[in-house]
Amino acid sequence: MHSIPACPVCGSENTYPDGSMFICPDCAHEWNPSEPEATDGDERVVKDSNGNVLADGDCVTLIKDLKLKGSSTVLKVGSKSKPIRLVDGDHEIDCKIDNTSIMLKACFVKKV
């Protein structure tokens, strides 16, 4: 019988196979055991809505109108940012658009 490996991120034993992938229901990590795992020294890869890899200093544009939480301001589609900075957390991008400092998810931008 095949043994199911523990999750490489959280160490949970509650993993299950899904096709060629393994999934951890505790931390939602998915991995393919035949691909090499990233080590702690590797940086996180952030991709825009088109799949282009983003880096610090890139400029991005919005692909849809975004309402700013707690404000009546709306950022319009096509608004271009100043050079971005990648950060950890649920919002990957820290930038300025229209002289407003905001944090964005990478799925709402495309690289210029």
| Closest CA relative to residue 93, chosen from 83, 82, 105 | 105
Phi/psi at 86 (nearest 5 deg)? -85, 135
pTM of the prediction? 0.62
Tokens at 11, concatenated = 């160490």
Please give the average per-residue pLDDT across 47-53, as a whole number.
Answer: 92
| Closest CA relative to residue 62, chosen from 77, 51, 84 | 77
Q: What is the pLDDT of residues 58-96, one digit of tens each?
A: 999 999 999 998 889 999 999 999 999 999 888 999 999
| 107 three-state secondary structure | helix
Reading phi first (left if > 0) and then psi (alpha if -120 to 50, else beta), residue 25 is in alpha
